[in-house]
Amino acid sequence: MNIKELREWVSSGKPIMLYDSRDRESEVDLVYYAPSITPSSIYILRTLAGGLICFAMPLEIGRKLGLTFMTEMLTKYYPSLVKKPNYGDWPAFSLWVNHISVKTGISDEDRALTIRKLVEVADEGDEERFKKEFMAPGHVPILLARKLSERRGHTELSVRLMHALTLKPFTVFAEVLDYGVSMSLEKAREISRSLGIPLLEGREVISIVGMKNDSNIEIK
């Protein structure tokens, strides 16, 4: 699969599997291009993957909406709770929101609607619309992607990948879980092959982000 094919794959609403690295979380996430999200996508994320379903955008766009990291918010009132995770990076979490038009916010339809509206306001960089149309706390956690030179988590890898594919830099993803534990890379590869879902490793994403043509890349 070359870069053009990968772009067409994700923009059509199909997921990819993304592994960060053995030096970090050693985690596989199921990733969708946020502008193409549907209630069916949310259903697949919670049944095939099973982890927390998150919406990610670049930090620089989040700042335009008035967003900041949750760690910065918590430091003011609960400083003793703000600790760096074992994998070594500060979390990417910001606010958890619902769109004001949803019912409870947790259904597949509600979360898909909240995400689609987040894409709209993030694409516009419209802080006033964001404050008017969303409520917090809600059921969709917003993650803010730093630069890959600063952090190489699934948030950064997925968002910067979309940007490199000349797509809007917004993603939705959840960790792929196994019984009681995170799914191993080996088992994720089996699922990737059986379901025909491309699996990329973080190092491959980094190479794509730095590429400027449609040359072939290996996607396992």
**What are the mean pLDDT values of the chain's consecutive 10-residue runs (220 residues total)?**
94 97 90 98 98 97 97 95 91 98 98 98 97 98 95 95 96 98 96 97 91 50
Instruction: Say how many C-beta atoms besides its own lie within 10 A of residue 40's C-beta.
Output: 11
210: which residues sit within 8 A by CB, 6+ positions away? none
Q: Please state the domain extents for the chain.
A: 3-209
Residue 190: predicted pLDDT:
97
Residue 22: predicted pLDDT:
84
The whole-angstrom separation of Cα 117 and Cα 165 is 22
Compute the 3-state secondary structure of the chain and give helix, strand, coil in percent, each to the nearest 5: 45, 20, 35
Residue 76: predicted pLDDT:
92
Active site residue 175: yes
Active site residue 124: no
Please tell us whether the domain made up of 3-209 is placed in CATH 2.40.50.100.
Answer: no
Selecting among 43, 89, 120, 139, the annotated active-site residue is 139
CA 38 to the chain's CA centroid? 15
Selecting among 29, 108, 156, 201, the annotated active-site residue is 29
Active site residue 54: yes
Question: Are 184 and 45 in contact, with CB atoms under 8 Å apart?
Answer: no
Residue 140's nearest CA partner among 169, 117, 167 is: 117
Query: Could you give the C-alpha distances from 198 to 2, 12, 214, 218, in angstroms and in order?
Result: 11, 14, 17, 10
Residue 23: predicted pLDDT:
84
- For the entire predicted model, the pTM comes to 0.94
Amino acid at 10: V
Decide: helix, strand or coil at residue 216: strand
Query: Could you give the C-alpha distances from 101 to 86, 117, 135, in angstroms and in order?
Result: 38, 10, 10
Residue 87: predicted pLDDT:
86
Residue 215: predicted pLDDT:
52
Selecting among 20, 110, 133, 175, the annotated active-site residue is 175
Residue 173: predicted pLDDT:
98
Selecting among 87, 124, 128, 214, the annotated active-site residue is 87
Active site residue 87: yes
Active site residue 186: no
Selecting among 20, 32, 33, 98, the annotated active-site residue is 98
Question: Are 115 and 33 in contact, with CB atoms under 8 Å apart?
Answer: no
Active site residue 178: no
Selecting among 54, 108, 133, 201, the annotated active-site residue is 54
Residue found by looking up tokens 């995400």 in the block: 115
